[in-house]
Amino acid sequence: MKKTRLDQYLATQHKHYSRTQIKKLIDDGFVLVNGEKRKPSFLLHGGESIEMVRRAPEIPKAEAEEIPLDILYEDDDLLVINKAAGMVVHPAPGHYKGTLVSAILHHLGTPTTPPPKLGGGWEGVRPGIVHRLDKGTTGVMVVAKSDVVQRRLAQQFKDRKIEKTYQALVFGAFKQKAGTIDFAIGRDTIHRKKFSSRTKFARDAVTHWKAARSFAGLTLLEIALETGRTHQIRVHLSETRHPIVGDSAYGAKSHLSSIKDEALRAHLESLTRPMLHAWKLAFRHPKNEQRLSFEAPLPEDFRSVIESLP
């Protein structure tokens, strides 16, 4: 047997648990290897006795909630929405209510009657979801209404045939008008909630950017993703010294001092989320192969920042 991390092995054996749930089980001592508590990074060589003891983690369940949706398009097979800032896409530890999935379930059914065929199944945590946006990111998302459509959309994402274009306001100026950021990223070895190039399990990540407008100390970028890794845009821009305005997790605060205008600096400091917007999404309809393209306008908070710039 090839050496395998304990948390990775358990994740493959218990796919109804998330990696976060598996890690918490191990950290809390509810997983024993040969009768002993181990760390999630413990390497298995093969032949060990692994036991889950005392309890299993709570498995979040998606439930319908009456939450407004900004619907850009809908047919019998799919739903395209403009996700609001602050909305988590699917239930997860700490975010069981108020999710996009809950809003979609209510839209397609009722609180007591589940939709008849939502992709991924009514009992799943991520019914209909084929891609996601971070909690603070706004913009276009597509949702599948059936398992067939979900599989076909997922294959388009896997084959990199989905066209994804973002807008991001970042710190700093660029010497070139366009470029590509190409380096692998993964979960950070120290800060487990973050992603970076400092990782043991890197995956390729490619981000294409174009400078749309330049301001005093800031640049509005148009970004096309070739890959779709977690936090990819945020990590790539942060590690190239152009963190996204408002992205406190990836270095935005340390760049505020570069803004000389006091009123503007105070405005940027008051932002509670990254100025990152999933602007456009284009793909082939999973049933009739027709090319579909959707665009979501900048949200009010993002737009107000742009309008305040000199």
**Domain ranges within the chain, ordered by starting residue:** 4-52, 71-159, 164-280+292-308
Annotation: CATH topology of 4-52 = 3.10.290
pLDDT of residue 119: 54
pLDDT value for 116? 47
Beta bridge partners of 293: 282
Residue 300 token pair? 């009010």
What is the reported pLDDT for 54? 56
Whether the domain at 4-52 and the domain at 164-280+292-308 fall into the same CATH topology: no
CA neighbor of 70 nearest in space, from 97, 104, 102: 104
Find, among 146, 240, 293, the residue nearest to 255 by Cα. Answer: 240
CATH code of the region 71-159: 3.30.2350.10
**22: how many CB neighbours lie within 10 A of its CB?**
23
Active-site annotation holds for 134: yes
The CATH number of the domain covering residues in 164-280+292-308: 3.30.2350.10
Q: What is the pLDDT along the chain (310 residues), one digit of tens a residue?
A: 578 899 988 888 887 777 888 888 888 788 888 888 899 999 998 888 888 875 555 556 678 889 999 999 999 999 999 999 999 987 776 667 888 988 998 888 744 455 545 655 444 557 788 999 999 999 999 999 988 999 999 999 999 999 999 999 999 999 999 999 999 999 998 887 899 999 988 999 999 999 999 998 999 999 999 999 999 999 999 999 999 999 999 999 999 999 999 999 999 999 999 999 999 999 999 999 999 999 999 999 999 999 989 8
Q: Rounded distance, CA 250 to CA 246, Å?
A: 9
Residue-by-residue DSSP string for 87-124: --SS-BTTB-SS-HHHHHHHHHS-SSS--SS-TT-TTS
State the pLDDT at residue 111: 44
pLDDT for position 112: 47
Active-site pick, 7, 28, 75, 134 = 134
Q: What integer pLDDT is reported at residue 62 of this predicted model?
A: 73
Phi, psi (degrees; rounded to nearest 5) at 95: -140, 70
The whole-angstrom distance between residue 148's C-alpha and the CA centroid of its chain comes to: 23
How far apart (Å, rounded) are the C-alpha atoms in residues 290 and 283? 8
Rg (CA), the chain: 21
CA distances from 154 to 85, 137, 203 (A): 24, 21, 18
